[in-house]
Amino acid sequence: MYRRILIPTDGSREAARGVEHGLALAEEHGSDVHALFVVDEHVHGDTPALGSFELAIEEIEEEGWRIVEGIGRQAEGRDLDAECHCVRGTPDRAIIDYAMRNDVDLIVMGKRGASGVEPPHIGSVTDRVLRLSRVPVLPV
């Protein structure tokens, strides 16, 4: 039923629930895993010059790669195929665009991310992905 599962993460403890659940579903269905980290340029700036903002973004991007590659290793440890990506953009838009471009069947993500919204509320990125995505979304 799910050939490709997208697991977007910001690396937070809250997002880790989505990672674990997404990997478990992928294992159950024999799905390919797509791990995605989005460097939020809206928060971190968007400058073409190699200045302090760009250096900060590059550091966040390096951390993003470490995070998604860790998810890739976890997927491979479960005998699943995995693709890892780190992109720049607005998180909700980048997640939805990635899902559409890569024929994803399900997006599994944490209910809350690094912004730390208090329970039982849902995070703003998850909320926008739920409302705008044509691909089914499972918030956990």
Contact 20/138 with Cβ under 8 angstroms?
no
Mean pLDDT score of the chain: 90
Strand partners of residue 106:
5
Q: How long is the chain?
A: 140
pLDDT (0 to 100) of residue 122: 85
d(CA 39, CA 76): 24
Note the pTM of the prediction, 2 decimals: 0.89
- Note every long-range contact of 20-24, with CB atoms under 8 Å and residues 24 or more positions apart, other chains counting: 21/108, 21/138, 21/140, 22/108, 22/109, 22/138, 23/71, 23/74, 23/75, 23/78, 23/80
Per residue in 12-52, pLDDT (tens digit) is 998 999 999 999 999 999 999 999 999 997 765 545 555 67
Per residue in 96-131, pLDDT (tens digit) is 999 999 999 999 999 975 555 555 578 899 999 999
Per residue in 64-80, pLDDT (tens digit) is 999 999 999 999 999 99
For the domain 4-139, what is the CATH code? 3.40.50.620
